[in-house]
Structure 1
């Protein structure tokens, strides 16, 4: 995720990482030792990932073609350069996209709906020098879903988020809590990344949501009904047995 240099991924990493730390603390509480081990593992994994990036830049040693300074300057430029083509094109797309959403906010305009906007992308300007570009592949993922699927589209994905997190929450206090922590963090990362880049309505995003389904831990309705019957029958059984015990 880091080496991709995608700022959308970085936003997702921050959101998912924060949730991962919080859920790890919740799943480990009140075991301070367990929580310390889990937090240490997360920190160690982060340090190992950063070290791996540095090793890739310096390889082969000693005849490497890059320097650590090149890597740090690259990350710095990606976080501070607000005039980047990708950023300016996204902001240029936003007003026309919002206008298209307003045209059919309830039922949507369909999956093939196109939006025309001005882009600074040199590849587009090589075709149209004035920068005018028409496409159905859009950034601003949540607005794209709203544009193509209508208001029920974003609401459906929000409800899916609620259902998945609720189902995974039951595993946080089990021996396999790491599975729930991993999936909830990954889903949060996916939803946060989708704000700027369309991944939630992509096979990669949908595949992640489907992959989490087998690990849900809801209480089946039959179990709930059976538990309710047991609770209601228990007092009756005790009342009927009490005279026999007294005799």
Structure 2
């Protein structure tokens, strides 16, 4: 039986066409950044296209929104300035898609229900929405700065996508469309990471200053010189490269456990190695210790599931471990090749020593995070049950060079905190982190039950048991990342939680029907 047909799915022409389209969109973004008037025209052309597409087929409008999420980091690849207020293309797409969905719901004569809302997960969403309401009300009662309230709370509005997505993702065809969009998006972000790394590693003047400013000003990410002409290429959106890597490893682990890796020459398929090594290289180049911690947590979850739930034999665990180590090594080789082909002048950088140093040393940003911990705890204890509301700020002393440059004393006031779960607790009270963890736990438990059962169902070319294995571990990885870098209060993390919870309910209900 063909348990996995992922790469015959991957070979379909629309995916490669979509990668080319995404590359073109990014080039237009760069052009619009260099020529602001053209950027405004491009912004409105995109908005008009999304409006037309959403009215025609709402599912396509939602796919555009998700693709932008996968590649856009903070959402400012295109933007429009209204009297000093910058409106991102992400916010504009959100307003259009949600408005179109509401309009269609109001004027539709068909009343559509969803099994999602009678699942256990809906209870946790209600708790989470209640916590959000408490945080908003408390912010108003305590008279927090209204600007801070808006910028702190607006990311959670992304949860509104839950309702239209729960409707369109009842259909298998839309999961397949989403699969193609996701594969194309993470592939493009990997290619983009390598291209930018190559440009900076080889000092391709005059492109480096322009690319640096574009990446920084559009909020895509950061480019930092580490040592000996080695550059850290970090995009906030690379969280999806990490999650995709964990999901791929889950699928590979399932394939090996079924004996298909050897018997059907599955691991001989170069695409398994290319995608795995490429995603691994991106996670390494991010030099994000939060990503590395999340990756370790996700891989640990995978190994645990393989051994104790799927009862994998030690031979299968050995092959899986060998594959994981191999793609890690190939990822290093890929980075080394990008750095040194053609050869550069000067002493070559030691990637292994840079990674080791990054993993074991605590720089200014890490020290700043630790200095925030005590005042943040003090703030939490003022209102531990109902929180201090969105926009509530903390003042502390930081050793971050960027802060010291503006204020030599190091005193810094902010409402955005690196401690993800403490951020939720401080602003929404104890219900916030408990509801969020309950939601993730409930989705994980639903996936656990699918993993335990032998499933014949295939979705987007992949056996759902294999996909559930990967999504379960990816949720664990995301939850671990959020300890040190807030993603669950950002559209990037919220989007994955929404998709994972809908997926868990979808496969659970389909299994009951089979």
CA distance in 2, matches of 1:180, 1:65: 48
CA distance in 1, matches of 2:307, 2:411: 50
CA distance in 2, matches of 1:65, 1:210: 48
CA distance in 2, matches of 1:64, 1:42: 33
- Whether 2:437 is the aligned partner of 1:158: answer yes
Q: CA deviation at 1:126?
A: 1.9
Alpha-carbon contact 1:168-1:180 (below 8 Å) kept = yes
Residue equivalent to 1:215: 503
Provide the aligned length of Structure 1 versus Structure 2.
219
- Whether 2:190 is the aligned partner of 1:190: answer no
Residue equivalent to 2:491: 203
Q: CA deviation at 1:31?
A: 5.6
CA distance in 2, matches of 1:96, 1:210: 32
Matches within 5 A, 1:47-196: 47-58=329-340, 60-63=341-344, 67=348, 69=350, 71-82=351-362, 84-172=363-451, 173-174=454-455, 175-196=463-484
CA distance in 2, matches of 1:49, 1:179: 23
Alpha-carbon contact 1:28-1:35 (below 8 Å) kept = no
- Whether 2:255 is the aligned partner of 1:10: answer no
Q: CA deviation at 1:47?
A: 3.1
Q: CA deviation at 1:185?
A: 1.2
Closer/same/farther in 2, CA of residues 166 and 65 from structure 1, 3 Å limit: farther
Q: Deviations for 1:88-128, whole angstroms, at most 9, x for unmatched residues?
A: 10111011100100111100111101110000112211222
SS at match of 2:413: strand
Q: Deviations for 1:196-239, whole angstroms, at most 9, x for unmatched residues?
A: 1111111111111111123215766xx79xxxxxxxxxxxxxxx
Where structure 2 has 5 or more consecutive residues not aligned to the other structure, the ranges are 1-282, 456-462
Q: Deviations for 1:41-98, whole angstroms, at most 9, x for unmatched residues?
A: 434433333332222222x2344777352x122112212323x101110111011100
- Whether 2:311 is the aligned partner of 1:29: answer yes
Closer/same/farther in 2, CA of residues 145 and 47 from structure 1, 3 Å limit: same
Alpha-carbon contact 1:27-1:177 (below 8 Å) kept = no
CA distance in 1, matches of 2:433, 2:472: 19
> Comparing 73-82 with 112-121, which one deviates more in the overlay?
73-82
Alpha-carbon contact 1:107-1:150 (below 8 Å) kept = yes
Q: Deviations for 1:137-179, whole angstroms, at most 9, x for unmatched residues?
A: 1111110000011100011011112111111113324343221
CA distance in 1, matches of 2:508, 2:402: 53
Residue equivalent to 2:327: 45
SS at match of 1:195: helix
Where structure 1 has 5 or more consecutive residues not aligned to the other structure, the ranges are 225-247
Alpha-carbon contact 2:421-2:483 (below 8 Å) kept = yes
CA distance in 1, matches of 2:346, 2:465: 43
SS at match of 1:156: helix
In angstroms, what is the RMSD of aligned CA positions?
2.4
Closer/same/farther in 2, CA of residues 111 and 65 from structure 1, 3 Å limit: farther
Closer/same/farther in 2, CA of residues 167 and 79 from structure 1, 3 Å limit: same
Closer/same/farther in 2, CA of residues 41 and 64 from structure 1, 3 Å limit: farther
Q: CA deviation at 1:24?
A: 3.0
Larger CA Rg, structure 1 vs 2: 1
Alpha-carbon contact 1:57-1:64 (below 8 Å) kept = no
SS at match of 2:286: coil
Alpha-carbon contact 1:118-1:133 (below 8 Å) kept = yes
